[in-house]
Amino acid sequence: MNSQQEYVLHAVEDRDVNFIRLWFTDIFGQLKSVMMSPSELEGAFDEGVGFDGSSIEGFSRVSESDTLLLPDPSTFQIMPFDEDEPELRTARMFCDVIMPDGNPSMADPRQILRRQVNVAAQEGFTCQASPEIEFYVLKQAGEGAPATDLVPTDNGGYFDQASHNDVPKFRRQAMRALESVGIATEFSHHETAPGQQEIDLRNADVLAMADNVMSFRYLIKNVAQRSDVRATFMPKPFQQYAGSAMHTHFSLFEGDSNAFHDPDDEFSLSDTARHFIAGILAHAHEISAVTNQWVNSYKRLQFGNEAPTAVTWGVSNRSALVRVPTYRLDKENSRRVEVRSLDSAANPYLAYAAVLAAGLKGIREEYELVEPAEDDVTSLTRRERRAMGYRDLPMSLDDALHEFERSEFMAEVLGEHVFEFFLRSKWNEWRAYTQQITAWELRSTMEL
């Protein structure tokens, strides 16, 4: 029993915790949970908690169904919302999924990210990540309206104190809930569209940040539910409004030194940072199916609205795929790169693993970085982008899957099992989508 495990056992007893939630995610980033009694916790630390892996799509075959959850004591947090009912006080821990022989499950997204974290460590780096998470807060369109007929809760725009807001305390309540479970926030504000919000998380180790993103989604939805509204991380829920991104800032450190910082460079960017950016650009098409994994993701990417449409990088250029912020150029710890393609519905473990792996490959093989884009790339036509040498990002999940399917790089990052299952499942999603006869088709062609 190590010191972290002992701390958890004492905290559970001292704080009168009555239930423990063991959290893990499936391959698509859906949160899964097993509830247990505190009396079972010591055994869970020693031996893990068994569950039927074949019941989680893509985890294991029926013949290999015995799977274990191993709680990570460093992720222990007491959950909010039970202040008025102490007999229901609950804590949670994220888990690693392991096999009976003690080896990591090849289907565990958390382990896939940890592999890239270990690769970075072998090359002398630790990775920090800081996401800006956008989402919509919605309400039913009116009394008696279908549950799926939703409209924004306010009519605000960028940084507005919305003139009409059905949940005026929402962001404050959300930030309080996040801070209560140890997720440090930096800023929050109203985004560009009615009902759209953004909360930015303070940088942390990339694996811890992926855990934080999963907790973020759970807590935001709970805060919304308690206000009789709904929160959605759908990439583009409204045709007329901007989509929801998860712009994420990445930096690599060598010990306490920021490996991306060079005080003698015009933009304070080191060669390491330039190679990292070049790696992301070189593999952008291959990783798109993971950073933007849903059919709906490409409704956001295809039509701009501050979403990148082409493989570019730029300095302070919010139309680029990778942006280099220029705040405090002389401050070493501020040097970072912002990847703007990720959307809020991505599996953070797989998406961060793909970005980190691409950047590390760029460093390892010393990819050359092209000149930065100075144009508003999203305002250019496709022909203009081609003329300027910009490659368009995939315009649909179909396009992205073709790139993903022939990528040896992504097969290596995800492992053969997850790569094959992800590809097969996403092709099924695309086929189900294209089989639909939409309302637009009926309106426009029924009279033919």
> Could you read off the pLDDT of 305-329 as tens digits, one per residue?
778 999 999 998 888 999 999 877 7
pLDDT at 164 over 70: no
Same domain? 256 vs 141: yes
pLDDT value of residue 304: 63
Question: pLDDT tens-digit profile of 21-66?
Answer: 999 999 999 999 999 999 999 999 999 998 876 667 656 554 346 7
Give the C-alpha separation, 191 to 380, whole Å. 24
Same domain? 273 vs 363: yes
DSSP of 65-107: -EEEEEE-GGG-EE-SS-TT-GGG-EEEEEEEEE-TTSPBPTT
Binding residues for Mg(2+): 132, 134, 191, 198, 247, 338
Residue 7, domain member (yes or no): yes
pLDDT at 279 over 80: yes
What is the overall mean pLDDT for the chain? 91
Residues in the chain: 448
Q: Do 91 and 78 contact (CB within 8 A), yes or no? A: yes
Binding residues for L-glutamate: 300, 306, 318, 340
| pLDDT (mean) for 180-198 | 92
Residue 202, domain member (yes or no): yes
Whole-prediction pTM? 0.94
Q: Do 327 and 90 contact (CB within 8 A), yes or no? A: no
Residue 225, domain member (yes or no): yes
E strand or H helix at 398? helix 397-405
pLDDT value of residue 52: 73
Same domain? 256 vs 350: yes
Give the C-alpha separation, 441 to 448, whole Å. 11
Same domain? 197 vs 88: no
CATH number at residue 82: 3.10.20.70
Three-class SS state of 280? helix
Same domain? 55 vs 164: no
pLDDT band at 331 (very low <50, low <70, confident <90, very high): confident
pLDDT band at 160 (very low <50, low <70, confident <90, very high): low
Q: Do 216 and 174 contact (CB within 8 A), yes or no? A: no
Same domain? 59 vs 162: no
Three-class SS state of 393? coil
Three-class SS state of 322? strand
Lowest mean pLDDT among 97-106, 196-205, 268-277: 97-106
Binding residues for ATP: 186, 249-251, 318
Strand ranges, E, within 174-309: 185-190, 196-201, 204-205, 230-232, 246-254, 257-258
Residue 427, domain member (yes or no): no
Same domain? 128 vs 218: yes
Percent with pLDDT over 90 in the chain: 74
Same domain? 71 vs 205: no
Domains: count for the chain: 2
Residue 315, domain member (yes or no): yes
Residue ranges making up the domain that contains 172 = 116-416
Binding residues: 132, 134, 186, 191, 198, 247, 249-251, 300, 306, 318, 338, 340
Residue 421, domain member (yes or no): no
